[in-house]
Amino acid sequence: MKYVYDTGLKYKELGHNRNVEFKIEVPEIKIEMFFDPEVVTIILDNLLSNAFKYTQEGVIRLKLRNYVDGNIDYTEIIVTDTGFGISETDLPHIFERYYQAKNASYPIPGTGIGLALVQNMVELHEAEISVNSQLNKGTTFKVKFITNNSYPEVIHIHPGEVHPELNEKGENLKNVILVVDDNQEIVEYIRDCLMDTYIIITAENGNVGYQIACDKVPDLVISDVMMPVMDGIEMCKVMKQDVRTSHIPIVLLTAKGSLQDQSEGYDAGADSYLTKPFSGNLLKSRLRNILEARKKLSAEYSSKFKDKQLLFNESISQLDKEFLEKLTAVIENNLEDEDMNISHISSQLNMSHSTLYRKIKALTNLTANEYIRKVRVKVAEQLLLTNQYTISEIMYRIGINSSSYFRQCFKDEFGMNPSEYLQKLKED
């Protein structure tokens, strides 16, 4: 499979160690089978990164083969190394989560998550994994897939097709989570925990994480504290001071659980802390609570645009208050332009179209066009209450040229048309 070869080529190009020869043996014959690229990537990345980590000299070999056993066609991925090896005592436990070899002759720091994650991914793909190892001689991992497995209970997506979960507005239903950590095992563990519920994007340090956050505007960021280039605390500070990212909740991960360490994170603007190691259920629960709280807050804002503004403004950062004020001012200053849209507004706010859209959605639970309409209707109500303008004059001042559309927008906001609204106010 070209996919396996390309993944191996990535490691070959990295040139980890001149004393280690990396060989890729993939047959030229085309093997057709259903597979999940993300799952296979997790398996390959973990097995290959372990091989390079524990091999100081010799050969690492990535091999793909197709064979028949008992009239069943199998495709097998084999990763072999001439590294430190695994003792007979440790070998039965290597797939246990958080297990680290106690008798290792060459101890290397790790979390004990990688191989447990590999086993989970293998089982998810209805495959099998086996291992043979000898101390000071090397290790061989074999992952065996049934070549003709059609996986009838899963959705099949062919290359080039995209099938996101969308709501009736065409918006993706899954929240986007950015995971920032230089430890690939932690990243894959989190991905394993969350991939069914969220869209996961990753970064290897705070600097890259900040750049991706500005570009993609995720719904939440999970970040390690200790990282090279830019640590989690510094990234948190930078994000909270940038109007493009200031609204994004940040969960910090740390091996240190002291109140002083947590205080430093909260001072930087972090929304929550998790101390490693943590369970997948705790992580999912924490994220769900944060996102639901944010969604409830933004829903409060959108439900009664005028009455909830004061309460909402007390619950967000000063930077986000200023953003909403500036956004509203830009809209109000251009109300008479019926063609006003998000592209026009984003240029005045010096933001990209996508960044502005996601920020408005995150803060108000409204699309950009819905927010513009809310502002138009709010101003229409204020003009209506002065009793100095006709409906036609008000429509002109707020940039709506269709009376039926104006009445519908007003009714959607206040539950009645403008005439009924005025009459009710007089009666009250």
CA count, 13 A, side-chain hemisphere, 46: 30
20 Cβ neighbours under 8 A, 6+ residues apart: 52, 55, 56, 57, 58, 59, 60
Q: How many CB atoms lie within 10 A of CB 126?
A: 12
Using DSSP's 3-state secondary structure scheme, residue 76 falls into strand
Least confident of 37-41, 302-306, 357-361: 302-306
Distance (Å, rounded) from C-alpha 300 to C-alpha 287?
20
Of 103 and 120, which is predicted with more confidence? 120
- Read off the pLDDT of each residue in 211-227 and give the average, rounded to a whole number: 91
Q: Measured between alpha carbons, how far is residue 62 from residues 5, 22, 44, 103, 142 in Å? A: 9, 8, 9, 27, 10
Segment 97-126 shows an average pLDDT of 68
Of residues 305 and 35, more confidently modeled? 35
3-state secondary structure (DSSP) of residue 399 = coil
Q: Is residue 160's pLDDT more than 90?
A: no
- What is the CATH topology of the domain spanning 176-296? Rossmann fold (3.40.50)
Q: What residues are paired with 224 via a beta bridge?
A: 253
Residue 303 has pLDDT above 80, yes or no: no
Q: What is the pLDDT of residue 16?
A: 60
Q: Does the 2-146 domain belong in CATH 3.30.70.20?
A: no
Confidence of residue 173 (pLDDT cuts 50, 70, 90): low
pTM score, whole prediction: 0.51
Distances (CA, A) of 262 to 17, 150, 209, 266, 376: 38, 48, 20, 6, 43
What is the reported pLDDT for 390? 87
pLDDT at 153: 58
Mean pLDDT score, 232-256: 89
Residue 276: HSE in the Cβ half-sphere, 13 Å Cα cutoff: 23
Strand 138-146 relative to strand 128-134: parallel, antiparallel, unpaired? antiparallel
Domain spans of the chain, in order of start: 2-146, 176-296, 309-427
Least trusted range by pLDDT, from 203-212, 243-252, 401-410: 401-410
For 84, list phi and psi in degrees, rounded to 5. -65, -30
pLDDT exceeds 80 at position 245? yes
Pair 82, 57: CB distance under 8 Å = yes
pLDDT at 164: 47
pLDDT band with cut points at 50, 70 and 90 for residue 257: low
Identify which of 34, 3, 38 has the alpha carbon closest to the alpha carbon of residue 149: 34
Asked if residue 141 has pLDDT above 90, the reply is yes
Q: What is the pLDDT of residue 63?
A: 95
pLDDT of res. 62: 95
- H or E stretch covering 281: helix 280-303
CA neighbor of 127 nearest in space, from 147, 152, 155, 103 = 147
Q: What is the mean pLDDT of residues 218-227?
A: 92
**Domain range 309-427, CATH class:** mainly alpha
What's the mean per-residue pLDDT of the chain? 81
Query: Who wins on pLDDT, 242 or 17?
Result: 242
Q: Look at 156 and 238; give whichever has higher pLDDT.
A: 238
